[in-house]
Structure 1
Amino acid sequence: MSPRILGIFLITSVLDQLYLVDGTNGLQESPSSDLNLESTIRELNLKLDYCKIQLQIKDEHNKEKIEQMETIYKLKSQLAVNEISCAKEKEMAAAINNLNMRLVNAEQQLKFKDDLIQEKVKEIQDCDLIKTKDKQILEQSEKVNFMTVTISNLQSQLAKSRDDVKVKIKDINDRTEEVKIRDDIIKSKEKEISDKSEQLKNIEGKITVKDNELENLSAQISTKDNEIDSLNNQTKHDLEKITEMTDELHTCREWESCPTGRPDGVYKINKPGIAVFEAPCNSNGWMTIQRRQDGSVDFNLNWVNYKNGFGNLTGELFIGLEKLHQMTKDKPHELYIKLMKFNGESAYAHYDNFQIGSELEFYKLKSLGTCSGTTGDSLRYSEGLKFSTIDSDNDGISSNCALSHSGAWWYNNCSYSRLNGKYLRGSTGTIIWHGFGGNNNLAFTQMMIRPKSAL
């Protein structure tokens, strides 16, 4: 019984004692309850404490019984295991005994087999030894046979060698006789050599005399060679002087146009209608009338400058429009234009009938003729046009192309070529030839003329 149930039972008993139940009037309070209530509660508390102690004792007793039951269960389990172990041990002991007996039998059989194997091995060894001996005897026999054959061959070779030795001895004897004969011949030749040596000594003496004579002659020839060299140098110097004088005469001489077959240089040109002037000429009769190469000369000049010419005869120059008119008015001339880009690429244009008008015609580009070459015909656009400068605007538009392009030329609506503009490296639009480089400036230009009869 649990403590809660026991408490309920005790409280019920107390209530039975405190109250009386009447069959007809119901529940009524007892008159003596006030006196005995405290003593009754104390008794009930004592009984309750007693019951609790009893319950604790019973709980401990139950725990001991449970522990005893568990111990008994464990002992029974161990006993069962021990019984099983004993049974297994008996079975294992019986199996071990059986295995021991089988092992003894196996050892006996193994020993028996080992004895048999030893006997077989001994027999086999005896047989192998016999075979080895037989094989050795056979090998020795083969060696003996081989040695017998070798000895026989050696004997045959020995006999042949003896015959060869006899032949060699005979050859040696014959050669000895020949050597004796040759020795006699050598002695005779040595005598002849000795005689020849005496003759050679005499000849060497004569040669020495002749060598001395030759040395004297060589000295004389060397002296003559020096004299000839001196004369040649003098002659060469005289020829150079003559050439210089001839060139000076040619230079000082007044020519109507550049001479052909003469050295390159500056020549005096005497053309009727104009004063004598100097012009650069080459050996083929070409006269340079315009050259641009480094920008050292300013070409942005007025009409008078372009009429008369300007620049350096060995550098940049413009020969002059009046000179061009006077040279081309009566005799057909060729025009040769050489161009080069800043990358070194070059080209040329050739016109076979170049003619310039008079100042009254504003130095019109009257004719060009047929064009050939590698630059393209970019000057053709200027044919028939008047010459324009910064102070004389003769082009075909309202503005002055000479001003806008910093150089005079034969302009219309400006031009496809202009070689007198400002010299600018890496720029565009001032010194151009449209057929050779487009609008990119050129590094070098040279205009040359010569009479067509100079061909």
Structure 2
Amino acid sequence: MDPRVLVAILSVVVLADLSVADKEDSKSALEPVNEVAECSASCFDAIKPIIDHIMVSKTTADEGRDLEDQLILLMNEIKIKDEQIHALSKINDEQRNTINTLTKNNDALIKAQNDNQELIRIINSESNERKNERKKIEENKIEIKIKDELIKKKDKEIQENPDKAVSKDAQNNDLASQISVITRNLIEANEKLSIRDEINSCTTAEKGIYHIKLPGMSAFEAPCNGSGWLVIQRRMDGSVNFNRGWAKYRDGFGNLTGEFFIGLEKLYQITQSSQYELLISLGKINGSTAFVKYDNFKIGSEENSYPLESVGNFSGDAGDSLKYDEKMKFSTFDRDNDMYRIDNCPEMYNGGWWFNNCGGSSLNGYFYKNGKQENSSKGGVIWGSWQEWNWKVSLTFVEMMIRPKPF
């Protein structure tokens, strides 16, 4: 082939390649240039054998030297274009990294924007709560203002109508008095329940001495008989003198495991708290026994001389010898409250009791161990209805017991 033809072909190819490269230079640096680089390299590889052949076959003619110089220039230009393309490729990679970084930053900005929106929502919510609180405060202010106006109106009415104000004060005082009475009654009711509970502890206890605490009184001890009854008096051997004065009968005396009297003040506190039953067990020297029970035993206060306020109905085989003395005050040798005007019953019977007219009973009388009243000036332990009113007989065993009456 004619070398000049080949030179012409190569010139067209190279110029076409250079034209493409020039167009690529005019594009934005952000567009990819890989396709141009690949084209330049492949074109150069295709024509390189031809160029080598031409260089071997060239003549020493002037045209050959000119063509060689032109080819060298073209190759230098191609090399420069390749370097420019590589430089553009590197710039494009850096721009890709920049875009990735921008994308990440954009994602962070979007997340931050979402967080800000949530914060704005919370702030708006808190703002609404504050608005509601302010609204409530304003409503309370209005309510207070209305109440102040009502108070002023009431004050004005009181000033204009003092009689009505006095009437209201009187009503308030009456209400306060009623409340005070109700409160006092509640306190007394609680005290009575407390006493009943204390005595009830004896109803479930075994036989023995038990500690009892009543409201307003010092604690004391008393025996329980093991069958639910609290023992308040016992006569069994004459070991204790029952011819005592008022103070002793008020406070109690004797031996809790033997002969004793519990005391009138304790009996008053106990029997006023609830309804109590009284059980009296009796015994004679011959071994015979009997009992009598009353269903409503109650005594009054010391201020009224501990009267026998009530005994209620009776039952039992010993008969009733106490009803006759009901409503009578208690008497001792140093405080005569009986109805017998000739003599002092406690002195005659050597013991305190609720004597009417020296009556039909005296369970605190003089104790005759042989069961016979041998001294006419010392009345014995008697329960007339069981002794067929025979005053010559004196009982050798007595036990008085109480318990709360079941509801």
Question: TM (normalized to structure 1)?
Answer: 0.43
Report which structure shows greater RCO (CA 8 Å, sep ≥6): 2
Question: TM (normalized to structure 2)?
Answer: 0.48
**Which is higher, the Rg of structure 1 or of structure 2?**
1
* Structure (1/2) with the larger helix percentage: 1
